[in-house]
Amino acid sequence: MKFKLTLWRVIFLVIMALGLYSSFVRYFRGLGAVSNMTDQFPWGLWIGFDCLCGVMLAAGGFCMVGAVYLFNVERLHAVVRPAVLTAFLGYLLFIVGLLFDLGRPWFIWHQMIYMNPHSVMFEVGFCVMTYTTVLFFEFLPNVLERFNLQTPIKWIHKIYPVLIVAGILLSTLHQSSLGSLYLIMPSKLHPFWYTPALPFFFFGSAVAVGLAMTIFESTQSAKAFGRQLELPVLVTLGGALLIALWVNALLRFEDYFHRGLLKQIVTPSYEAYFLWLELTLTFVIPITMLSFKKVRLSPQLLYLASISTVLGFITNRLNIALIGFETYVGHHYMPKWTEFSITLMIIAVGFALFGVAARYLPIFGEEEKHAAQPRLSHAADTAVLSHAGD
Amino acid sequence: MSAAPPKLAERRAFRTEIWDSPPGFFNSGGTRAIVWYQNDWHTNRLFAVPVLACHFATALRSARLRLVADVLFRSGPEIIMSKAILYDATMCIGCKQCEGACAQQNNLPYDDAVAAESVQSAHKYTVVLTKDDKFMRRLCMHCQKPACASVCPVGALHKTKEGPVVYDVWKCIGCRYCMVACPFSVPKYEWQALNPRVRKCVMCPDRVVAGKQTACAEICPTGATKFGERDDLIKEAKDRISQNPSNYRPHIYGLEEVGGTSVLLIAKANVEDYGYPASERIGDTPMPEYTGRVMERIPDFIPLWTLVLGGIYWVSHRRDEVAIAEAQEKNGHAKGQETRKD
C-alpha cells in the first residue's frame, strides 16, 4: 500500500514527533524539565486532563453496556461495540498517561502489593486496573470474531452477566472516587468546586458525558466511514442526555443553594468566570438545545449539543484540578508546551488506534461494513487522522 | 557548612540500615534490615535488574506480613506518650542553627545560599522565617491523623506510634497525592530527579526511636525548639502562656488543628502571617475523616450495588425468557424464536 501524505497525516506526524521529544525530556530530564508543575502545583494538566477527563470520556462504555445488557434496551445495540472500544482505549491511554505523570512509574505495580485501604487513590487505581481487565474481556469477542474463534466466544458469553455487573459496579466506584480524591482538600480547593457531594457529581457527570460521547462518536464515525446514522439510537440517547443533564443541573443548584453560594457564583471573580463557562457549556447550551424536539430529531444539532456537553464537563474537571487551586496557591499554573504535546500525543494515538480497530475488527456490524467497504480503505485513514487534530 | 562531596561509603550503591520498627498498622514491627540502593537506578543500570528482583521479593514478603497483621491485629497505632516538638517563637533568636543541624542530619547541602532561602523545599526541610524582628519556624507538623499517610495509595507515609510521620521511599510511586492533600503543603518533590522522592521533615525517627532528641531541638541554643512527650509539652505551653499572657497569643497552634499535631507552636505574632493556614480554615477535623466518610461506605456499597445490578439484569432478562417460553407454548413447537442475540 502506498503511503500518501495528507494534511491530517502531516499533523498527526508532527504531533507524534513533538510528543516523542517531550517523552524523551520527561524520562531523561525529569518532571521538572518537562512540566510547569511545582511544589505548589503538584498536579497539573496530566492529572486534570489525561486522568480526570480521560476516565470521564471513557464512561460511554459502562453507560451503553448498562443500557443494553442490564436494562435490555435493544435499540441501542448498535452503539455498544464502539462504546466499549472507546472505553477500553480510553482506560489503556489513561494508564499510559499515568506512566508519564507518576514520578516513579516503574513502581506502579506497588499498588497491588503495598495496599493502603484508606486511600481513595488506591481504590481508584485498583478499580481502574480491574475494570480495564473487564473491558478487555468485553472487547475480546471483537477480535475473536475477526478470526472466527467460536469456542472462546462461547466461554466469554457464559461469563457475560458477571462481566457486565462487575464493569458497572467498578465504574460506579471509581468514577465517583475520582471526585472523592478532592474531598481531603477542603482548605485548598475553591468552594465553588469543593463540596461533600463531589463523588455524586463526578458519577452523575460521567453518565451524562457517557451519553454525549456516544452521540459524538457515532456521528463522527458515521461521517468518517460513510455509514448510515442510526437515527432512533441518537434520538434515544438525546432524550436520555437531556434527563441526565437536568438531574446534574438540579443537583448542582441544590448544592450551591444549601451551601449559600448562590450570591457568590453570580458575582464576577476569576473563579466565577470559569464557573460560568463551565455551567454554560454543560447545562445552559445543551439543555436549551435538547428541549426542542427539532434538535432531538436532528443528528447535526444533537452532535453540537453533545460536543457542548463534553467540552463543558472537560472544563468542569479542569476547573477542579487546576483553576480551583490557583487562589490557594496564589499564582497561576499554565502547562508547558511539552505537557500539552504529550497529552496531544496520547489523544492522537487514541484516535489512530480507534481507526485501526474500526477498520480491521467487526466494531460497526458486519452488514454495514460490507456496504461501506469500497470507500473504507481511504476514508478510514483520513478520518482517523482528522480527529487527531481535535 | 557547604555541600561536601559524597564520601566513598556513601557512593556505594547499596547501604544496609538496621531499623527498629514499631508494630504499626501495616507491619508487625521488629528489627528489619533494609537494603537501600542509594543512587538512582538509572545511574547504575547494571544493578537495576537484581535490585528490582530483590525489591519484588521484599514487597511480596511485606504484603504477606501486612495481610497477617491486618487480619489479626486490626487496630491503628496507639498514640499515647507520643513525642512532639514545642516551638516557642518568643524564645527564638533566628540563629538558624536548627536549619543547619537538620541539613546535616538528613545529608542535605547547607550553605549561606541555602540559609537565605525562605521556603521549604526538597533540600530544606525546615525554615526559620523572619518578619518584623519576630521569628517563626516552619516544618512538618506531624499530624496525629496525617492526611498524607491516609491518601498514600501504597502506604509509603505512615505515622509511627512515637510521633514522627515517616516516609518509605522504596514504596513510593510518585503520585504526589500527599503533596496535594497536606493541609500545610509540607511534602516537597525532587522535580529535577529522574527517580524523584518526596522530601519532608521526618522528625529524625532513628534518633527518636533511640530515645534521643531531634537534631533541631538538640542544637537549639535558647530552647525555643523543645522536644519531649506531647502531653508534657502541652502542659508546658499552657503554663508559659498563663504565666506571661502579654507575651503570647492565647492559642497553641497544633493542639486541635486538624485533630492535633505533634508539632506545637506558641507565639505572640499570628502564625498565619508566616504562611501557616488559619485555624478556622483547616478546622479541627482530622483530614482523613473527609475521605473516610466516603471510603467506609464502600465495603457495604459493593455487595448492595452488586445485588441491585444483578437484580436488574435478572428482571430484564427474565422478561425475555418468559416471552420466549410463552411464544413457544403458543406456537406449540419446541423451537422458540430468539429475540436476543447476545
User: What is the CB neighbour count within 10 angstroms for residue A268?
Assistant: 8
Residue in A with minimal Cα distance to B199: A39
Q: Give percent above pLDDT 90 in chain A.
A: 68
Mean pLDDT, residues B71-78 taken together? 42
Q: What is the pLDDT of residue B34?
A: 46
Q: How confident is the model at residue B328 (pLDDT cuts 50, 70, 90)?
A: confident
Report residue A181: phi and psi, to 5°.
-50, -35
Average pLDDT of chain A to the nearest whole number:
88
The grid cell for B232 is: 508534657
Q: Cβ of A85 under 8 Å from any chain B Cβ? A: no
Do residue A120 and residue B174 have CB atoms under 8 angstroms apart?
A: no
Q: How confident is the model at residue B69 (pLDDT cuts 50, 70, 90)?
A: very low
pLDDT in tens, A103-114: 999 999 998 888
Mean pLDDT, residues B19-23 taken together? 50
Do residue A39 and residue B288 have CB atoms under 8 angstroms apart?
A: no
**pLDDT over 80 (residue B235):** yes
Q: How confident is the model at residue A72 (pLDDT cuts 50, 70, 90)?
A: confident
Of B191, B288, B310, the CB nearest to A165: B310
B212: closest CA of chain A, how far (Å): 30
Contact map slice: A 344-383 vs B, CB within 8 A: none
Q: What is the pLDDT of residue B294?
A: 86
CATH 3.30.70.20 spans which residues of chain B? 83-144+199-292
d(CA A52, CA A98): 11
- Give the Å distances, CA to CA, from A370 to A80, A374, A376: 19, 8, 9
Q: What is the pLDDT of residue A47?
A: 94
Q: Cβ of A33 under 8 Å from any chain B Cβ? A: yes
Of B62, B176, B306, the CB nearest to A103: B176
Chain A contacts of B174, Cβ < 8 Å?
102-105, 107
Q: Please state the separation of Cα B306 from the chain's center in Å.
A: 34
Q: What is the pLDDT of residue A131?
A: 95
Q: Cβ of A186 under 8 Å from any chain B Cβ? A: yes
**pLDDT over 60 (residue A235):** yes
Mean pLDDT, residues A123-142 taken together? 93
Q: Report helix angle A270-279 to A299-318, nearest 10.
A: 150
Of A102, A168, A188, the CB nearest to B309: A168
Residue in B with minimal Cα distance to A199: B294
A1: closest CA of chain B, how far (Å): 37
Q: What is the pLDDT of residue A65?
A: 93
A36: closest CA of chain B, how far (Å): 10
d(CA A106, CA A99): 8
Do residue B189 and residue A184 have CB atoms under 8 angstroms apart?
A: no
Q: How confident is the model at residue A116 (pLDDT cuts 50, 70, 90)?
A: confident
Grid coordinates 467506609 are at which residue?
B296
Coil/strand/helix, residue A64: helix
Do residue A184 and residue B147 have CB atoms under 8 angstroms apart?
A: yes
Q: What is the pLDDT of residue B333?
A: 54
Interface test with B, best of A72, A100, A126, A154 (most B CBs within 10 A): A72
**pLDDT over 50 (residue B11):** no
Chain A contacts of B196, Cβ < 8 Å?
30-31, 103-104
Q: How confident is the model at residue B56 (pLDDT cuts 50, 70, 90)?
A: low
Q: What is the pLDDT of residue B300?
A: 84
Alpha helices in chain A (DSSP H): 7-29, 31-34, 45, 54-57, 60-65, 77-101, 110-113, 120-146, 150-158, 160-180, 198-225, 231-258, 262-266, 270-279, 285-290, 293-296, 299-318, 324-329, 337-360, 366-388
Are B147 and B287 spatial neighbours (Cβ–Cβ below 8 Å)?
A: yes
**pLDDT over 80 (residue B324):** yes
**pLDDT over 80 (residue A158):** yes
pLDDT in tens, A282-304: 999 999 999 999 998 988 999 99
**pLDDT over 90 (residue A57):** yes
User: What is the CB neighbour count within 10 angstroms for residue A115?
Assistant: 21
A223: closest CA of chain B, how far (Å): 27
pLDDT in tens, B100-146: 999 999 999 999 999 999 899 999 999 999 988 899 999 999 999 99
Secondary structure element (H or E) that encloses residue B163, with its range: none
Q: What is the pLDDT of residue A372?
A: 40
**pLDDT over 70 (residue B70):** no
Contact map slice: A 94-133 vs B, CB within 8 A: 101-108, 110-111, 113-123, 125
The set of residues, in sequence order, having a beta carbon less than 8 Å from that of B43 and lying 6+ positions away, is none
Are B93 and B224 spatial neighbours (Cβ–Cβ below 8 Å)?
A: yes
Of B177, B281, B313, the CB nearest to A70: B313
ipTM above 0.90, yes or no: no
d(CA A142, CA A160): 14
Q: What is the pLDDT of residue A102?
A: 94
Residue in A with minimal Cα distance to B157: A116
Q: What is the pLDDT of residue B293?
A: 84
CA geometry: angle B198, B117, B252, nearest 5 deg: 75
The set of residues, in sequence order, having a beta carbon less than 8 Å from that of B228 and lying 6+ positions away, is B83, B84, B86, B236
Mean pLDDT, residues B150-168 taken together? 91
Q: What is the pLDDT of residue B73?
A: 40
CATH hierarchy code of domain B83-144+199-292: 3.30.70.20
Q: Cβ of A44 under 8 Å from any chain B Cβ? A: no
Q: How confident is the model at residue B33 (pLDDT cuts 50, 70, 90)?
A: very low
Listed by start position, the domains of chain A span 42-349
**pLDDT over 80 (residue A233):** yes
**pLDDT over 80 (residue A355):** yes
Do residue B153 and residue A117 have CB atoms under 8 angstroms apart?
A: no
**pLDDT over 60 (residue A368):** no
A320: closest CA of chain B, how far (Å): 13
CATH hierarchy code of domain A42-349: 1.20.1630.10
Do residue A110 and residue B176 have CB atoms under 8 angstroms apart?
A: no
Q: Which amino acid is at A61?
A: G
A181: closest CA of chain B, how far (Å): 8
Q: How confident is the model at residue B341 (pLDDT cuts 50, 70, 90)?
A: very low
Q: Cβ of A155 under 8 Å from any chain B Cβ? A: no
Q: Cβ of A168 under 8 Å from any chain B Cβ? A: yes
CA geometry: angle B46, B51, B53, nearest 5 deg: 120
B315: closest CA of chain A, how far (Å): 9
Mean pLDDT, residues B19-47 taken together? 48
A234: closest CA of chain B, how far (Å): 21
